[in-house]
Amino acid sequence: MRPFTFAQATTVNEAVAGGDAGSAYLAGGTTLVDLMKLEVLAPGRVVDINRLPLRGVQLDRSGLRIGALERMATVATDRRVVGEYPAVAQALLASASPQIRTMASIGGNLLQRTRCGYFRDTATPCNRREPGSGCPAIEGENRTHAVLGTSDQCVATHPSDLAVALVAFDAHIEVTGRDGSRSVPLADLYRLPGATPQVETELRPGELITGVTLPRVAAARRSAYLKVRDRRSYEFALASAAVGVHLRGGVIEQVRVAVGGVATRPWRLPAVERALIGRPLREDVVTAAAAHASDGARPLAHNRFKVALIRRTVVRALLSLGE
């Protein structure tokens, strides 16, 4: 671990006052500390933000608000989240381990870095870590990598389960920087890798996530998160789906579908949603709609199975809502 300066902030304005591209915020530390130990990240300044008043879960007629420093375990078991946004609670419980969920923050989870082995190994090239050095995953070991949203520069998969569920239900994040505060749709936060995979989000240097908001969405109350992985716990997704439906008269009036584990960012599936509107929640209908889940996929040598796995995961998740 390389030397850095350390500070503790007691207000949001104090935290962001000295924020720049060389700074990092420390909340639960479950991602930051690991990457600093590996020297994948080497911030010159680390600001402990755990004293900031950015906790709490609130539900009112407009929707749900979660403080960025609230711990994953707390949100996952909050009765209001479980009752009104079950897919969000399920996504959190499918994440990491109980010990990590107790420490990790909501904001930190949304900004966690990819688990690509090449990114985390400083002995290998990686365009996210060192722009222009290359992406060995394209020709190398790529079983767990993305098939959607990739580029010739990067095929790393986005790691967050929570982000997939939040994107499905139109979440926004509240951010604060030296220029003030703003609200950003979570779906717009994450950038496709394109030619600049090292720029992963639309956050400005020094900006801090202060909260997450979800609107009232009818489909959120009847929702689920399904995660397919190599083992039952403490494993990242090979494919996942956050889905929700609102039925009226036996047909789908509103539907939300987003997938993870297969793309470079949380991946909403509007073509699947359009194919389901006005149709019954029936296996043949869902299977036909899910055929669009892999539209635009660019599989690699070892992850071709993900093309079919995306479709099957979406089908299974949606049909679980009809039980």
pLDDT (tens digit, 9 = 90+) per residue, 182-207?
A: 999 999 999 999 999 999 999 999 99
* Cβ within 8 Å of residue 86, ≥6 positions away: 220, 221, 223, 224
b/e sequence 269-302, b meaning 16+ C-beta within 10 Å: beebbebbeebebeeebbeebbebbbeebebbee
Q: What pLDDT score does 168 carry? A: 98
Count of domains observed in the chain = 2
**Is residue 78 domain-resident?**
no
pLDDT score of 19: 84
Mean pLDDT score, 306-314: 98
pLDDT-based confidence at residue 323 (cuts at 50, 70, 90): low
Q: What CA–CA distance (Å, rounded) separates 318 from 256?
A: 10
10 inside domain: yes
Residue 314 has pLDDT above 70, yes or no: yes
The answer to whether residue 150 is domain-embedded is no
With vertex at residue 258, the alpha carbon angle to CA 255 and CA 260, rounded to the nearest 5 degrees, is 160
With 90 as the cut, is the pLDDT of residue 282 above it?
yes
* Neighbour count for residue 195 (Cβ, 10 Å): 12
In a domain, 281, yes or no: yes
Confidence of residue 11 (pLDDT cuts 50, 70, 90): very high
223 forms bridges with which residues in the sheet?
A: 244
Give 53-62 pLDDT, tens digit per residue.
999 999 999 9
Between CA 8 and CA 21 the distance in angstroms is: 18
The model's confidence at residue 17, banded by pLDDT at 50, 70 and 90, is very high
Is 262 among the domain residues? Answer: yes
Q: For the chain, give the percent of residues with pLDDT over 90.
A: 97
pLDDT score of 154: 98
d(CA 318, CA 323): 10
pLDDT digits (tens, 9 = 90+) for 144-173: 999 999 999 999 999 999 999 999 999 999
Provide the whole-model pTM. Answer: 0.97
| pLDDT cut 70: percent of the chain above it | 100
Q: What gap in Å lies between CA 190 and CA 135, rounded to an integer?
A: 20
Could you tell me the CATH number of the domain that includes residue 312? 3.30.390.50
Residues 6+ apart with CB under 8 A from 223: 85, 86, 87, 165, 168, 169, 242, 243, 244, 245, 256, 321
Q: Report the alpha-carbon angle 225-227-233, nearest 5.
A: 120
pLDDT tens digits, residue range 102-160? 999 999 999 999 999 999 999 999 999 999 999 999 999 999 999 999 999 999 999 99
At 22-68, the pLDDT tens digits run 999 999 999 999 999 999 999 999 999 999 999 999 999 999 999 99
Q: Is residue 229 part of a domain?
A: yes
Q: Is residue 140 part of a domain?
A: no
Q: What is the pLDDT of residue 20?
A: 86
pLDDT tens for 226-252 read 999 999 889 999 999 999 999 999 999
**pLDDT recorded at residue 18:** 81
Domain membership of residue 190 (yes or no) is no
The mean per-residue pLDDT over the stretch 262-288 comes to: 98
| Owning domain of residue 266 | 218-320
CATH number, position 40:
3.30.43.10
